[in-house]
Structure 1
Amino acid sequence: MTPEILIIAAHPDDEVLGCGGTIAKLAGQGAQVHIAFLADGVGARTKQGVTDSSDSAESAADQASIEQRRQAARRASAILGATSVSFDDLPDNRLDSIPLLEITQRIEALITQHRPSMVLTHHAGDLNIDHQRVHQAVTTACRPQRGHPVQTILSFEVPSSTEWQPPGSGAVFAPNWFVDISATLEQKLAALDAYAEELRDWPHPRSRQGVEHLARWRGATVGCEAAEAFVLARCLV
């Protein structure tokens, strides 16, 4: 049976930053990898205090930015070999304004659709509120009930979010599961290039160099050329 894998991310680019090399590796091994985004990723950038006369222009600009980000996500997913990519429309950086039940139900619908045996998502301790809420909703949607398809849940790190949470302010990202991405690091970086507008200059952690250095360091800690690190929440074998 072909493995079904579901990546649940808050925003387009989180999937490449957190587990792009793993996506490429799993897809290369024949798994069906589905990527789902819950928030649009750009809505919070809307300028505040606009007048009514400029509302429609602002909305049109937002929609253009959202579509541009989605096109980047489609290019990235093709580079990584993902089977499908889907987009929801929850408000960017405002998932704390949405009832957890609503977010959970949307994730439950994705699980019903794809029946994944493995889910990869955000870490609970990320600084970004959307990442926190997505983690909480995934954990709720994947409650270990009889007949539930999800056997493994992994949390990934996102540069410029996970490591920016101050000590004591959230759960510490202490990885205990590593995936060797030595053979797929270049695919990860190529997919990252699809999100060129989201990248920053070195030494920002969300720069191309920062992402590669992190992969090299994670690899060095486990004895390989490059790796992605995760926190294992559950694994049923």
Structure 2
Amino acid sequence: MVIAPHPDDEVLGCGGVMARHVAAGDKVHVLVVTTGHADHFSAEEVGIVKNECRQAHALLGVAKTIHLDFPAPLLDTLPGCRLASAVREVIRQIRPTMIYFPFEDDLHSDHRAVFLATMVASRPLDDSAVAVLLNYETRSETDWAPPKNGSVFIPQKYVDIEAHLDIKLEAMQCYRSQLKEYPHPRSLHGLKALAEFRGSTVRMKAAEAFSVIRELAF
């Protein structure tokens, strides 16, 4: 399961890995935590992004998309227990073996709130415990975050997405309202450049990198 604070974060962070999982026969579920609040986004803008999300997920072969519709960009105004409980309920329903979710010190406060809620929601309290927790990096959030008390995104797991980079980029093209022109990091060129950089670090042509939060071996 992939947890995205906003529609498009899932493609930015792990669109290639999502396609790889689907190609391997795995069921990929996406939990989109927020929708644009009326004070910041028009109803038309919200509708456009949700439609783009449907297109991107259909292209990637997502089995199910769940929208919690909490207000963006206002997650830091909500009680943490409310957000964690909502995420926990989805985990109990889906019972994923792996969760991909945002880095704890991303620049956007919504990302940080989702990180904490996921950590609370995925505590190994019962038989719905999630075996693998991985943080993905989000362009213009992870890379723009200032180092705080030495907390920076350090890749520990690299996944080869050479065969799936094109579909990741196609899925991002579905989010036309969110795409930027290069040299913005949320451009197609910016996404490809990061994939090639991460790949070249470990002698792959393209990779997505993750920080390992937990990995259980039963």
Contact 1:12 1:41 survives alignment (8 Å): no
Asked if 1:38 is matched to 2:18, the reply is: no
Counterpart pick for 2:11 among 16, 19, 27: 16
Consecutive unaligned residues in structure 1, runs of 5 or more = 1-5, 47-61
How far apart are residue 41 of structure 1 and its match?
A: 4.2
Bigger shift: 112-121 or 170-179? 170-179
The residue aligned with 2:175 is: 195
Q: Structure 1 residues 170 and 79 mapped into 2: Cα distance closer, same or farther (>3 Å)?
A: farther
Q: CA RMSD in A?
A: 1.3
Identity across aligned pairs (percent)? 38
3-state DSSP of counterpart to 1:167: coil
Q: Following superposition of structure 1 onto structure 2, how do residues 80-119 of structure 1 map, counting pairs within 5 Å?
A: 80-119=60-99
Following the alignment from structure 1 to structure 2, what is the Cα–Cα distance between the partners of residues 44 and 234? 37
Q: Structure 1 residues 44 and 168 mapped into 2: Cα distance closer, same or farther (>3 Å)?
A: farther
Following the alignment from structure 1 to structure 2, what is the Cα–Cα distance between the partners of residues 70 and 122? 20
Following the alignment from structure 2 to structure 1, what is the Cα–Cα distance between the partners of residues 88 and 148? 31
Q: Structure 1 residues 66 and 169 mapped into 2: Cα distance closer, same or farther (>3 Å)?
A: farther
How far apart are residue 208 of structure 1 and its match?
A: 0.8
Consecutive unaligned residues in structure 2, runs of 5 or more = none
How far apart are residue 146 of structure 1 and its match?
A: 3.9
Following the alignment from structure 2 to structure 1, what is the Cα–Cα distance between the partners of residues 98 and 173? 27
> Which has the larger Rg?
1
How far apart are residue 29 of structure 1 and its match?
A: 0.4
Counterpart pick for 2:159 among 164, 179, 182: 179
Contact 2:3 2:99 survives alignment (8 Å): yes
The residue aligned with 1:143 is: 123
The residue aligned with 1:224 is: 204
Following the alignment from structure 2 to structure 1, what is the Cα–Cα distance between the partners of residues 145 and 99? 23
Q: Structure 1 residues 154 and 38 mapped into 2: Cα distance closer, same or farther (>3 Å)?
A: same
Cα deviation 1:14-33 (Å, max 9, x = unaligned) = 00000000000001101110
Asked if 1:125 is matched to 2:120, the reply is: no
Contact 1:124 1:170 survives alignment (8 Å): no
Contact 1:43 1:92 survives alignment (8 Å): no
How far apart are residue 168 of structure 1 and its match?
A: 2.4
The residue aligned with 2:186 is: 206
How far apart are residue 43 of structure 1 and its match?
A: 4.8
Q: Structure 1 residues 202 and 140 mapped into 2: Cα distance closer, same or farther (>3 Å)?
A: same
Cα deviation 1:105-141 (Å, max 9, x = unaligned) = 1101111110101111000010000000000000000
Following the alignment from structure 2 to structure 1, what is the Cα–Cα distance between the partners of residues 180 and 95? 36
Contact 2:2 2:30 survives alignment (8 Å): yes
Following the alignment from structure 1 to structure 2, what is the Cα–Cα distance between the partners of residues 41 and 160? 19
Contact 1:42 1:65 survives alignment (8 Å): no
Contact 2:92 2:128 survives alignment (8 Å): no
| Regions of 4+ moved over 6 Å | none
Counterpart pick for 1:66 among 46, 55, 60: 46
Q: How many residues align?
A: 217
